[in-house]
Structure formats: structure tokens, C-alpha cells
Amino acid sequence: MSDSLLIEDISYLVLADSDQTVLENAWVWIENGFIKDLGSGEVPEDAGDAPKLSGQGKIATPGLVNTHHHFYQNMARAYTPGNNLPLLPWLERMNKLWKRFREDDLQVCTQLGIAELMMSGATTIADHHYVFTEGSTDMTLHQFKAASKMGVRLHASRGSMNQKSDLISDWALQDEDTILADTESLIQTQHDNSPGSYRQVIVAPCAATSCTKSLLEASAALAKKFRVGLHTHCGETVAENDFSIEHFKARPLAYLLDCGWDYDKAWLAHGIHFNDEELSLLSHYGIGVAHCPNANMRLGSGICRVPELIESDVKVGIGVDGSASNDSGHILGELRQALYLARVKYGAESMSALDAIELGAWRAARMMGRDDIGELAVGKCGDLALFPINDLYANAAENPVDALLICHPRQVSDLVVGGSIRIKDGAFTHLDIVELMSEHRQRAERVRSSAF
Ligand SMILES: [Zn+2]
């Protein structure tokens, strides 16, 4: 597949730069996977030989970046026993499903989840997988295989659980040595930190409630040793605060800091219930927050203080999360929810459509330690999402760019990753989506039928 491309006649080009520039009648020239030049008006003559894609009647944004997800859960979405529960009882129900879940199931879940996210504009995705069932092997390698087939950039957060509790069965736990050895081996064999990287490894214990202190400490030390990302859930519910104070004699963030999580490549999923002092600590240590508005609303967990995080110079990016607490992986829809949830708490002037796009663009990229994606500029990766202006749900919108968020979320017409066209005219260029959906349904049925 070619990695050079000229996207011409783009009606609106959202650069997602610090000035929130939007160019009209624009073009982007990609060579060898990276942006060689871009602008509005006339295309440079020497770009004439590159393969072309028309941007007429389209709004182009940087390929969107998702900082938190759980692909495996897309086999349990809208699962009746968990549909009306808060986090902990919901988790208890979910955890009964996965005893027979294996690496080939995860590969299919990963492909399907990536397909959903691509169709809604994503080109870089962090998935957090922490259920390593007894008898399974190479879970993370199967995720990388899926991402490579789909052609997106995957940050695989190698999750872990090693703490016995009422919520988790023994077959879902691994011992600390196994977890650390596998994670280190993945870093050494898979992690690529070069510009334009398609695969990165994140050290990612599931949560302080499902991991021992020793594992949390060793995970932070491992991430720091190799300068890779560090990730977990934190600050999601009031019940988590209470549990932490009762069992660890500290609030969740203080406990993590005590475990050595004072690290500028760490980011925490949810971060709803942080107080002012904790916002200062996050800013001081450079720790980020993955904001997951749909899951937070679905589970009734609360509202993340996104405008205040930004004001306090805390890194924050969008997390689509789920897929059984969302229960869909639509990243543009997630940005719309972030926009509206912020307005519920802080008023209609607190966030604009372009501010919301930033959460899925440079802000998300920066939080994941990447300066080569999330913005359209010379030298950045040639990753773009193109959305049709003339969509039924946005028809006749006076401001097509604002309409991208303010009107009902739509799908992309085209998606480009590293200069390669992965979706064209609303269809995957390299994937039989009907066949994938059918296989996914069959496997999901088997997984649900083995619940106990
Ligand atoms: Zn999560």
C-alpha cells in the first residue's frame, strides 16, 4: 500500500494547532508516511505525481487519538445483567464472562473495536487489556497482529491483576513474576519509540483495588526503567476513594504516588474525583487523565473536571473506554459527549467544538508521549480523518466544522493512516467488515454461554 498521497480540494482542514487554525480549500501532501507540506489554494507543482484523494465536500481533522479502551468487552456490550448497575457490581457481573476467553477471541475483539474507532475517525489507539485467562498465551501479540491487519497505531497497555477479591476469580489472576517478565519481554521485542511508530507497549496494572502494592511499585519501576508509558484506572468513583482510605489509609492518587507513580509518562483513566490539591499534584508530576464521558455517565460515576484540569495545566485526552460500559467505540461521539458533559457542569461557554476536538488530537497525543501525531503540520504523521459535510444529521449547517460536534456524530468518508487510505467513500479498503462482524457475533455467543 502506498504511503504517499495528495489530498486536494479539502473544504475545511482542521489543523488542531495551538491557534485552532481551520484552512479552507486546502491540501495535504504526504510522502513516506509523513506530511511533506500543506496549505490552502494552489497545490505545489512537484506534488503532482503523488496518488490523489479528493477532499471536496469534506472536513479533515488529524487522525483522532483514543487514550483508553478495553476491546475485549465488545463481546459483552448491552449485556442485560450489567446494564443498570454502578461500577463495582457491574464489574462483578462482567468478570464472570471470561473464563473461556482466549487470545484468538481477543484478536477478533481487537479488530472489531479498531474498525469501530477507525470508522469514527481514530488512527491511534491505546487499549488496556488486563484479563489474561488461565491457558491463554500471547494475548498482547494477538492485539498487535490485529492492529497491523487494520493499519492503525496501537499502544497496547499490558494490564494485570494479581490481588484476590470477591470481584475477580482466580483464573483471571497472574502472579507478579509472570506479569513483569511478559511485560518486559513485550517492551524489548515490540516497543517502537521512533517517529511514526505503529506499536508501543504501556505498563498497565488494572487498578489499585485488583493489584498488590508490590505489583504497583514494580510496574512503575519497570516503566521508568524503559521510559515507556504507565497507566491504570484511578479516581473513578466515590466508593473507590472510600475503599482506598479504608484499606490503604490514603486517597487513591496519594497511594499511587506512594507506589512510585510520580512519573511524567503516567496517565490515569477517569480521574473524576480528584480534589484541588490532587490537581496540583497531577500538574506537578506531569501525570495525565483519560476522560471517558460515556462510561462515566453510563455507570453514573460522576463528571470529570476537564476545564479545571486544562486550567491547572494537567494533561488530558479523550478515552472512549468500554466497550461494555459505553457500549460503542465511536470516538467522534465520545468527543461530543465530552463537550456536552463539560457544559452540564461548567456552562455553555466552557468548551467549544474545536476545544473538544483537541481532546482527541494533540492533547491526547501529548499525554501518550507522542509529538508526531494529533496535529496536522509539516513533519507530522500523515494521519487524517475526513468527514462528509453533507450528512443528513448536519444538513444545511451554517458552520460545518462546529456541526461535526454539535450535530449528531457521523462516520468518516475516508481515513488515511501514514499516507495509506484505509477507508474510502465510507468503506474499508482492505477488510470484509460483514465477515468480521459475523465471526465476532459467533464468538461472543460462545463467551456469553460460558458465563457462570
Ligand atoms: Zn477502563
pLDDT digits (tens, 9 = 90+) for 216-227: 999 999 999 999
Q: What is the pLDDT of residue 190?
A: 98
Parallel, antiparallel, or unpaired: how do β-strands 420-424 and 414-417 relate?
antiparallel
Where among 340, 367, 394 does a domain terminate?
Answer: 367
Q: How many domains does the chain have?
A: 2
Task: Please check whether residue 440 lies inside any domain of the structure.
Answer: no
Domain at 12, CATH number: 2.30.40.10
Task: Please check whether residue 107 lies inside any domain of the structure.
Answer: yes
334 CA to centre of ligand 1 in angstroms: 14
Task: Please check whether residue 269 lies inside any domain of the structure.
Answer: yes
268 CA to centre of ligand 1 in angstroms: 9
414 CA to centre of ligand 1 in angstroms: 28
Checking if the pLDDT of 325 tops 90, the result is no
The alpha helices in 151-212, defined as continuous H runs, are 176-190
172 and 248 part of one domain:
yes
32 and 70 part of one domain:
no
68 CA to centre of ligand 1 in angstroms: 6
170 CA to centre of ligand 1 in angstroms: 20
Predicted confidence (pLDDT) per residue in 100-138, tens digit: 899 999 999 999 999 999 999 999 999 999 999 988 889
273 and 391 part of one domain:
no
8 CA to centre of ligand 1 in angstroms: 38
H-run or E-run covering 22: strand 22-31
126 CA to centre of ligand 1 in angstroms: 11
Radius of gyration of the CA atoms of the chain, in A: 21
Q: What is the pLDDT of residue 315?
A: 98
CA angle (179 as vertex; 177, 185 as ends), nearest 5: 100
43 CA to centre of ligand 1 in angstroms: 44
Of the two residues 171 and 416, the one the predictor is more confident about is: 416
320 CA to centre of ligand 1 in angstroms: 9
280 CA to centre of ligand 1 in angstroms: 23
* CA distance readout (Å), 327 to 28, 73, 79: 34, 9, 10
52 CA to centre of ligand 1 in angstroms: 39
Residue 444: pLDDT band (50, 70, 90) is very high
Mean pLDDT of 350-374: 98
Dihedral sign of CA atoms 333, 339, 342, 345 in order: negative
Where among 320, 337, 367 does a domain terminate?
Answer: 367
* CA distance readout (Å), 373 to 287, 328, 368: 19, 24, 10
Task: Please check whether residue 435 lies inside any domain of the structure.
Answer: no
Mean pLDDT of 283-291: 98
401 CA to centre of ligand 1 in angstroms: 30
Check if the beta carbon of residue 73 is closer than 8 Å to that of residue 94: yes
Measured distance CA(114)–CA(127) in Å, rounded: 10
What are the φ/ψ torsions at residue 441 (nearest 5 degrees)?
Answer: -60, -45
Task: Please check whether residue 376 lies inside any domain of the structure.
Answer: no
pTM comes to 0.97
Q: Residue 13: give the domain boundaries.
A: 5-62+384-428
Measured distance CA(410)–CA(58) in Å, rounded: 12
398 and 348 part of one domain:
no
430 CA to centre of ligand 1 in angstroms: 29
Predicted confidence (pLDDT) per residue in 151-209, tens digit: 999 999 999 999 988 888 888 899 999 999 999 999 999 999 999 999 999 999 999 99
Task: Please check whether residue 444 lies inside any domain of the structure.
Answer: no
Mean pLDDT of 242-263: 97
44 and 69 part of one domain:
no
409 and 305 part of one domain:
no
85 and 193 part of one domain:
yes
126 and 270 part of one domain:
yes
Residues linked to residue 122 through DSSP beta bridges, in sequence order: 64
75 and 184 part of one domain:
yes
CA angle (234 as vertex; 229, 236 as ends), nearest 5: 140
83 CA to centre of ligand 1 in angstroms: 16
142 and 245 part of one domain:
yes
Domain at 326, CATH number: 3.20.20.140
Q: What is the pLDDT of residue 253?
A: 98
Measured distance CA(13)–CA(24) in Å, rounded: 6
Check if the beta carbon of residue 402 is closer than 8 Å to that of residue 394: no
70 CA to centre of ligand 1 in angstroms: 6
Checking if the pLDDT of 98 tops 70, the result is yes
234 and 282 part of one domain:
yes
Residue 2: pLDDT band (50, 70, 90) is low
269 CA to centre of ligand 1 in angstroms: 6
290 CA to centre of ligand 1 in angstroms: 9
Task: Please check whether residue 256 lies inside any domain of the structure.
Answer: yes
Check if the beta carbon of residue 94 is closer than 8 Å to that of residue 299: no
* Number of residues that this document lists for the chain: 452
277 and 342 part of one domain:
yes
Checking if the pLDDT of 5 tops 90, the result is yes
Mean pLDDT (the chain) is 96
Q: What is the pLDDT of residue 169?
A: 85
Task: Please check whether residue 54 lies inside any domain of the structure.
Answer: yes
